[in-house]
Amino acid sequence: MLEKTPTIQNLSELRQFVYQTLCEQNDLQIGAFDITERYLVRSGAPCGIHFCLHGPRSVQLTAIWATAENTVRFYGSTGERLLKTRLQSEVSLETAAA
């Protein structure tokens, strides 16, 4: 299930990668749907980001970037994990949030 190892330099590139991957996996037109994100916090420190693509007919597709493992897990509309991707370069959540 581990595929792709993209090189991501910053949070903007991570957002774009997540959005494009969710759209491609579900045959959605890129740019047609909104994506939201929430920072995940563990013991008071940021530990990742939860992305949610709001698709047609109230479908929600999600991805979670875990900073400790530097991986992104992609989930389908029913919650099943579809893909796990390890990023080649480290993106700092602290500098991205600032």
**DSSP labels for 64-94?**
EEETTTTEEEEE-TTS-EEEEEE-SS---HH
Rounded to two decimals, the pTM is 0.86
Which amino acid is present at 17? F
Q: Reply yes or no on whether the pLDDT at 56 is more than 80.
A: yes
Q: Reply yes or no on whether the pLDDT at 4 is more than 70.
A: no
Asked if 71 contacts 65 with a C-beta cutoff of 8 angstroms, the reply is: yes
pLDDT digits (tens, 9 = 90+) for 23-39: 998 889 999 999 999 99
pLDDT at site 98: 47
pLDDT mean across residues, the chain: 88
